[in-house]
Homo-oligomer: A and B are copies of this chain.
């Protein structure tokens, strides 16, 4: 069984976030060493979006068509937003610089992982759509640009995912299979991840069930390849998948991870949100029930953003919020905590200190580690659904009684607990009272649109906290966020 803290490193961060002087094998090693020191169990090295970040022989590298000595209005750059050109050039120049030094980035990552006792995986994005709204970009492959007829929604163009490739076409499956073959032959990973959540939509609308049958058959071909390379390499090579948070969504979108696990086609299933918001309420116990009796491990996927409801203002998670989401993952009996977009480089755009990052990642290795630090659990929503199934969300809310439910991990055994409500107060509205698990808490303190309500520890329960927000009319506060913080 796979266990521990899994860390996905996207295909561009290393190159975006460093100067050219760091484009060498020592910097790659130092990155791995840093993650190893944080207690990361497995590093999933993402090597592609629509192109590769290394000098692939079967796909285009990201720098294809880019002239380092050319102007900012060369074809692959001229559609970039002006403020992004310099960063894009740095990315491409850095990739070229590393290649010029004969450093094969993914191979070096994996080799260093092996030295440090960290599992080194290759993670492939199976349908990446960054920049598909642009006529050209270094991120767009010639294959994607030349085959609009292979898109899943060829008759409409209202969103990025309409432009995803349709895996019902053998050309699309073959296009990805050559990259899989190269990844297994060229690198020597401990695992291969097929990241179906970049971007999560792989089939025409209404054809996802048929697509799911195709994809399962195709996955068994991948499994055979992996088993073949296991024999050649003489060590296990795990196969993992990232899929939607909800099992029904997963099946309805053609990613039938339950079947995959039951047929022995994968070793790790990671339910995860797409990106819009970290999902603090992943249905991991349901997944655990579904995977029971299979040899697949279960992961819980964390993202980096917080959005309480569709269209609400979003921001990056704070450390205590990341720890809250992580606490639920471990508490639900999951095998793997999986971090996506938890870049070591930027420390959440400066929102976290380096110490926050170090402390939080180290704490994430275990439930005990997490519960020894302050943590916050937030009401969010599930950001991925099958076309035609409604998206459910609890916020915003107003009225005499508004109720919110959240999976909050083990009940705290000491310290303090506080509910924090984000409120918009219309003329004449009074601050609401809050019940936690039916217990009427004392009145809270309202400041800066936040109502803070202390919660007696003895009313808390394992796994679940339910908040009833009671408002006296005639005008009601509008509740725009709900969170609970446990401070040991």
Contacts and interface: CB of A to CB of B under 8 A. Distances in A.
A158 B401 contact: yes
Interface residues of A, number: 50
A260 interface: no
Nearest to A394: B390
Interface string A154-179: 01101000000000000000000000
B440 A155 contact: yes
Nearest to A464: B209
Contact of A394 (B206, B388, B440): B388
B208 A464 contact: yes
Nearest to A258: B289
Interface of A: 153, 155-156, 158, 204-210, 247-248, 251-252, 258, 283, 285-286, 289-290, 293, 386-394, 400-401, 403-406, 435-438, 440, 461-468
Given A204-B437, A387-B466, 13 more contacts: A205-B437, A206-B461, A206-B464, A206-B466, A210-B461, A251-B285, A252-B405, A286-B290, A386-B405, A387-B405, A389-B392, A390-B393, A391-B392
A228 to B, nearest CB: 30
20 contacts: A155-B435, A155-B438, A156-B401, A158-B400, A158-B401, A204-B437, A204-B438, A205-B437, A206-B461, A209-B461, A210-B461, A248-B283, A251-B286, A293-B293, A386-B405, A387-B405, A387-B468, A388-B468, A389-B405, A392-B392
A156 B469 CA distance: 13
Nearest to A403: B388
Interface centre among A463, A466, A468 (most CB of B within 10 A): A466
A437 B392 contact: no
A150 B462 CA distance: 23
A153 B470 CA distance: 14
A3 to B, nearest CB: 24
Contacts of A158: 400-401
A206 B465 contact: yes
A387 B465 CA distance: 11
Nearest to A246: B248
Contacts of A247: 286, 289
A46 to B, nearest CB: 30
A205 B388 contact: no
Nearest to A208: B464
Contacts of A290: 286, 289-290
